[in-house]
Amino acid sequence: MGDALNRELQSAPSYDGQFGPRVASIGHEALARARGLADRLTERSLQLRNKADAFQAVDSTARQGIDNVWGQLQAWSRSDAGWNTLDIPLTLAQLHVLSAFMAPDDDREPPLWLRTLLGAAEGWGRAVDGARSLVGLGTYGLMRAGDGARALVDIGFYGLLRASIGAEALTKIALHRSLRVPPAANVAETEPAESPPISGPTSGPFALGAPTRPEITHDNGFLETHPPEAPTLDDYVQLAQWRIKLQAAEILRPDLSEATASYRHFLDGGGEPRDFSYEAFVEGDASGALTLQNAIAEAQVHTEVLCSGLTDCSLTSQPFYVGGDDARFPYPATENWQKTIGAHPFWISTETTSQVVNGTTIYQMEFTLHAEDRYNFNPGMADIATGTPDSENGRFEITGLGHQYMHYGEITRTVTWQEGQAETTTTIQVPSEGAGSP
């Protein structure tokens, strides 16, 4: 094209000795530019051809690898071996790709576990971005909530990957045959040590004496009635669902911060005790505030009985129960604290000094409320807010995929009042160093 244009321009007639030479000059320049462009296009085409050859080689290699893995998978599926004997690390993402090449060489129906995994792989391929999207994965179903990030769910024979919303915090749960989750332990050994019986003078539920934890018995959740079992594949899938729900709640429900932290400890804490903030319960839940108010009033009444005439006096109490029959200590009102501690026992200890001023006894009491709860799930019970049966998580207690644990919280106050005039003279202060457990 450049040569043809140059020839035409070279034949342009001259006008007054100027037009022809100028047009010819333009033709030479166009020819040079056209040839340079042609050289560059030739170079680029060679590079693209090399890339295409490389992609073709990779595709061929990948296809051979897929055929090899699928051949092994087919042979394995026709054997009597269990799912945990496969020695090929496959993930849902890989199975999703693999399924596009699957062409069974016989009419035999694959076993249930294989149909489950292939169904899960197909579900993985349909996962999309979206807040709180639910994605069906396979026969058992696997949910994934997403919020601005593509959901990654990777269940493999070597690992179960959970993807965090926002593409964070991936955690592997092994499914390889070498994994054997220990059977769920009966946690009776984590029960707080029993204290000696209170023997001092008493007034109602209080006794004169140093702080002494009273006898408190906690239920053993699903382990009360179910023996420990080894987890199944379905248990792992259910666990993945609940981890995904937990991650979604941690991001989308900041109002459930204590509840999600407590549930994460149930899944990952190994049964170790955990401290929670009773101060936060009092500040964030009307039932918590009322419980503290009435517990202090109860302690004041019995302090005046047992500490009368004493300059220094220590009291300790029997247990009280939040969420029981005593309306002074109502069940938590908020979803956050219903899920975190629910109904729970507490006991009280006090250190009191008194002095007489102008004929009136003035008490100053260092008040401590000691709360404890066994975090677990119970047969026949259900979550108040969602109606979800406790059995869904109770299964994790049975299989050792989750562990019940002891929950502890304390709160302290400095209380001052005049004897016989507690209702009108009481002042309550939070200790300067802070109150309650972290």
Same domain, 211 and 360: yes
Same domain, 243 and 168: no
Q: Judge whether 438 lies within some domain.
A: no
Q: Judge whether 247 lies within some domain.
A: yes
Q: Judge whether 259 lies within some domain.
A: yes
Which SS3 state, helix, strand or coil, does residue 359 take? Answer: coil
Same domain, 47 and 92: no
Tell me how far apart the alpha carbons of residues 158 and 195 are, in angstroms, rounded to a whole number.
Answer: 47
Note down the domain range covering 52.
Answer: 2-65
Which tokens hold the place of 437? 């457990």
Which SS3 state, helix, strand or coil, does residue 32 take? Answer: helix
Q: Judge whether 178 lies within some domain.
A: no
Residues of the chain with pLDDT > 70, as a percent, come to: 57
Same domain, 209 and 148: no
Q: Judge whether 76 lies within some domain.
A: no
pLDDT of residue 169: 33
Question: Is the per-residue pLDDT at 358 higher than 60?
Answer: yes
Same domain, 379 and 415: yes
Which tokens hold the place of 306? 């047992």
Same domain, 340 and 384: yes
Q: How far is CA 301 from CA 80, 192, 234, 304, in A?
A: 73, 29, 55, 6
For the segment 265-275, the average pLDDT, to the nearest whole number, is 97
Which tokens hold the place of 208? 């004169």
Residue keyed to tokens 């050289």: 39
Give the bridge partners for 366, in sequence order: 351, 414
Residues of the chain with pLDDT > 90, as a percent, come to: 52
Same domain, 137 and 44: no
pLDDT, tens digit, 9 for 90 and up, residues 210-257: 999 999 999 999 999 999 999 999 999 999 999 999 999 999 999 999
pLDDT, tens digit, 9 for 90 and up, residues 114-127: 555 556 555 555 55
Same domain, 250 and 349: yes
Read off the pLDDT band of 36 (50, 70, 90): confident
Query: What's phi and psi for 347, nearest 5 deg?
Result: -135, 170
Q: Judge whether 112 lies within some domain.
A: yes
pLDDT, tens digit, 9 for 90 and up, residues 169-213: 333 333 332 333 344 444 443 456 555 555 678 999 999 999 999
- pLDDT averaged over the chain? 75
Same domain, 54 and 162: no
pLDDT, tens digit, 9 for 90 and up, residues 377-427: 999 999 999 999 999 999 999 999 999 999 999 999 999 999 999 999 999
Q: Judge whether 45 lies within some domain.
A: yes
Q: How far is CA 101 from CA 65, 94, 199, in A?
A: 11, 11, 78
Tell me how far apart the alpha carbons of residues 259 and 342 are, in angstroms, rounded to a whole number.
Answer: 10
First-to-last alpha carbon distance for the chain, in angstroms, is 82
Question: Is the per-residue pLDDT at 292 higher than 80?
Answer: yes
pLDDT of residue 200: 73
Which SS3 state, helix, strand or coil, does residue 268 take? Answer: helix
Same domain, 292 and 385: yes
For the segment 298-306, the average pLDDT, to the nearest whole number, is 97
For the segment 356-385, the average pLDDT, to the nearest whole number, is 96
365 close to 351: Cβ distance less than 8 angstroms: yes
Same domain, 306 and 334: yes
Same domain, 216 and 302: yes
Q: How far is CA 213 from CA 303, 324, 371, 430, in A?
A: 18, 19, 10, 23
Identify the burial level of 237 via C-beta atoms within 10 angstroms of its C-beta, where 0-12 means exposed, 13-18 middle and 19 or more buried: buried
Q: Judge whether 70 lies within some domain.
A: no
**What does the longest C-alpha to C-alpha distance in the chain come to?**
133
In the chain, the number of structural domains is 3
Query: What's phi and psi for 349, nearest 5 deg?
Result: -130, 145
Which tokens hold the place of 121? 């792989």
Kindly report which listed range (137-146, 219-228, 362-371) carries the lowest average pLDDT score.
Answer: 137-146
Identify the burial level of 56 via C-beta atoms within 10 angstroms of its C-beta, where 0-12 means exposed, 13-18 middle and 19 or more buried: exposed
- CA neighbor of 167 nearest in space, from 67, 68, 251, 65: 251
Cβ atoms within 10 Å, residue 170: 12
